Structure 1
Amino acid sequence: MKEKQFTTRAVHAGERADFSQINSVVTPIYPSVGYTFADSHELDAVLGGEQPGYVYSPRYANPTVAALETAVANLESAEAAIALPSGMAAVHLALLGAGVRAGSHVVVAADIYGATYSLVQGIFTELGATVHLVDVLDLKKIEAILAQEKVSALLVETISNPLMKVADLPKLAELAHVHHAKLLVDNTFCSPYLCNPLTFGADMVIHSATKFIGGHGDVMAGLVATSAELKAEMVRLNKLLGSSLGPFEAWLAHRGLKTLPLRMRQQCQNALHIASWLQTHPKISQVNYAFLPSHPQFELMNQLTNGKGGGAVFSFEVRGAGKPEIFALMDALELIQPATSLGDIYSLTLYPAISSHRSLTPAERHKLGIGDGLLRLSAGIEDVADIQADLAQALNKIGHGFDG
């Protein structure tokens, strides 16, 4: 065949080269949407599922995304995992994968993450599902609902956001399975480093990888770790839903995952130190942190994490404070940043009333125990003395006009 014209060469030169001898230490980024094959028979076999391969990326599958999925499945002691573009996409797909449809009953922890609350109370109820909101600590009520209704899924968080209640995963798994329901656990606050819910009987583990897995505040992603059978069902659904994580985001999340144990160890130490100090502060009326000996579920947390820690996130009530005082406190911080996330290398704080639980009415928030003086803090990896000093100086600047 004669030499191609310049425009054709500009498009094709260098493509489809033999990279078989290139063994990269770091997982490469594969941005290609389409893939080529040796012949039409191979294309047919891959499209038919008779032969492994990639055909349409990332909606069907992508090598970079697959590497992240393999890594998270390994760390969560799961057979498989599926990556999504956000934690909420992961929650949504997990519920669908668990069989939640019109007419289904779902039991959900009442003080779950605000967006998850809105998803189940809004979209899923609008689509015909019945949602039962319960205190995750009220095992008798959970058991009663499971016994009375044909429940498809029980959705809880390992540590609740923002009140830091700890779910009794072994008992919840036992109750769910006796009544043929699946236990779905949002493990974002613990990360795979602290807890593996599947080993305690959970059927699916959900992560907002935007948080501790990514760890650097530069990627949004979600994951569900589960059995190969349940993943296959979620893959089937997701090919039609089109909720796919891109390869660049997958690469960032996978890069962050590699330092997860180093970051989490430091963040857990920092959180415990600051939470312990705040317990003694005269302007603080309540500290919610699962690894404080005073926490009602301290022993359970110790069991679930094998003594490795209580996570990086805690919340505290500023005595007598409301929105104006909390805003003044946040504005006085110099190192700790008010930001709409958590689990970063940076120490971050946020006011649940205007963020994670903004969609709830004040009455709904108060019913859950989320008061107007509650502030959440996610400890970063900075020197703990600097974090404490920043909180101390900010607390010293407030106090006029309220019971401080």
Structure 2
Amino acid sequence: MMQENSKTQGFSTRAVHAGERQPNGQPYRPVTTPIQPSVGYTYGSSDELEAVLANEKEGHVYSARYSNPTTAVFENAIAELEGGEAAYAFASGMAAMHVALLAAGVKAGTHVVCAADVYGATYSLLQNLFTELGATVHFVDVLDELAVNTAVSTHKPVALIAETISNPLLKVANLPRLADIAHTHGALFLVDNTFCTPYLCAPLAFGADMVIHSATKFIAGHGDVMAGVVVTTAERRLRLLELNKLVGSSLGPFEAWLALRGLKTLPLRMRQQCANATAVAEWLSSQPQIAQVNYPTLPDHPQHELAHRLTHGRGAGGVLSFVIDGASQAEVFRFMERLQLIQSATTLGDIYSLVLYPAMSSHRSLTPAERANIGIGDGLVRLSV
């Protein structure tokens, strides 16, 4: 939750201090948040413990599936930077997405409308797991407002899901318009903000009900921790907490501490990564072997102006994708293997430049027809800089 004295501070200042040095009942406060690995916590009376368990009083009872003091600092920091009331952290981005969908009411007999161009694991979570559990999922092109409105008005979904900037095609969602469509028909609007982070875009300000991050990526930023987080209202956070008591995918204190440490340099890293990605995208656009470059700061990107509005002109993140003209899978593999400084790895958003072949990795679980339907062809390469 945002502190009163932080409202006039810039994002970079808040990223350093958010969530930390809260009153602790002691005459001192640690400058740096300590790691508190204890699994359990004792109270002066059973009544106090009962109040904490009943969510009537703040506190911690069981780190493994409830909450932890170190993790709480990270949650409060993310909530403040996103402009939300509260946040709940998870062991991975997919755990965060999974529990967010459960909290939104996705279950047997319900409908979900989701952007077709989303992270492959999100697509598979909906298409495979939730479909098997009895939910009905409708994938649409979120750039086609008529198609979105038709799907939402017809099926009355409990949730509409989109990514601020999509993985891996870098399409930009019109968040205010999608929020209007969702809310008009009684759906919650869930936004995966991983590619932008709160430094570039705060989807809650554009009408999102829940914002999901794979904090493994840009937020933690160093390729050494798995984490996810959902930012929402205080009431919905309680629902996330109650569900996670059963799912058991809480973020551990050491991982939370690493993510919090990475958060402090997020503005510095994102500014440079945006600049680097723009430079690489512009260079690739001039190469005759490249048929297409997907990056929203390029003037010819279809959502160039929308991206500028949503990100306040700060940039479009550190990920771009491009199509090698006429390349087969084997030719793309040879291209990636010839790279020297840039490594091939199945992640993004950290301090290394990483290349990935979506058809082989992030969208491997999709059929060739499903990949072709959303625009992921044999020549598509994703680059995180």
Instruction: Please say whether Structure 1 and Structure 2 have the same fold, judged by a TM-score greater than 0.5.
Output: yes
Once the two structures are superposed, residues 329-387 of structure 1 have per-residue CA deviations (whole angstroms, 9 ceiling, x without a partner) of 111111111111000011111000111011112222112111101100011xxxxxxxx
Match of 1:238 in 2: 244
Match of 1:60 in 2: 66
State how far apart, in whole Å, the 1-side matches of 2:89 and 2:146 are. Answer: 34
State how far apart, in whole Å, the 1-side matches of 2:346 and 2:151 are. Answer: 34
Match of 1:96 in 2: 102
* Counterpart pick for 1:343 among 318, 338, 349: 349
State how far apart, in whole Å, the 2-side matches of 1:274 and 1:95 are. Answer: 36
Calculate the TM-score normalised by the size of structure 2.
0.92
Length, aligned pairs only: 362
State how far apart, in whole Å, the 1-side matches of 2:26 and 2:320 are. Answer: 48
Within 5 Å, give how 1:69-88 maps onto structure 2. Answer: 69-88=75-94
Q: Does 1:293 align with 2:299?
A: yes
State the AA in 2 paired with 1:194: L
Once the two structures are superposed, residues 203-257 of structure 1 have per-residue CA deviations (whole angstroms, 9 ceiling, x without a partner) of 0100000000000000000000011111111111111211111001000001000
State how far apart, in whole Å, the 2-side matches of 1:226 and 1:49 are. Answer: 17
For structure 2, the residue ranges without an aligned partner over 5 or more in a row are 1-23
> Is 2:165–2:171's contact at 8 Å kept on the other side of the alignment?
yes
State how far apart, in whole Å, the 2-side matches of 1:254 and 1:307 are. Answer: 26
For structure 1, the residue ranges without an aligned partner over 5 or more in a row are 1-17, 380-404
Within 5 Å, give how 1:103-122 maps onto structure 2. Answer: 103-122=109-128
State how far apart, in whole Å, the 2-side matches of 1:22 and 1:193 are. Answer: 31
Q: CA deviation at 1:322?
A: 1.0
Residues 261 and 41 of structure 1, relative CA distance in 2, 3 Å threshold? same
State the AA in 1 paired with 2:209: D
> Is 2:143–2:173's contact at 8 Å kept on the other side of the alignment?
yes
State how far apart, in whole Å, the 2-side matches of 1:170 and 1:47 are. Answer: 37
Match of 1:185 in 2: 191
State how far apart, in whole Å, the 2-side matches of 1:195 and 1:77 are. Answer: 10
> Is 2:322–2:380's contact at 8 Å kept on the other side of the alignment?
yes
State how far apart, in whole Å, the 1-side matches of 2:384 and 2:138 are. Answer: 29
State how far apart, in whole Å, the 1-side matches of 2:127 and 2:153 are. Answer: 22
Q: CA deviation at 1:276?
A: 0.5
Within 5 Å, give how 1:3-402 maps onto structure 2. Answer: 20-379=26-385
> Is 1:58–1:247's contact at 8 Å kept on the other side of the alignment?
no
> Is 2:41–2:61's contact at 8 Å kept on the other side of the alignment?
yes
**CA RMSD, aligned part only?**
1.3
State how far apart, in whole Å, the 1-side matches of 2:97 and 2:366 are. Answer: 19
> Is 1:286–1:318's contact at 8 Å kept on the other side of the alignment?
yes
Once the two structures are superposed, residues 248-290 of structure 1 have per-residue CA deviations (whole angstroms, 9 ceiling, x without a partner) of 1000001000000000000000000000010000111100001
Once the two structures are superposed, residues 146-174 of structure 1 have per-residue CA deviations (whole angstroms, 9 ceiling, x without a partner) of 11122100011011111111000000000
Calculate the TM-score normalised by the size of structure 1.
0.88
| Greater C-alpha Rg | 1
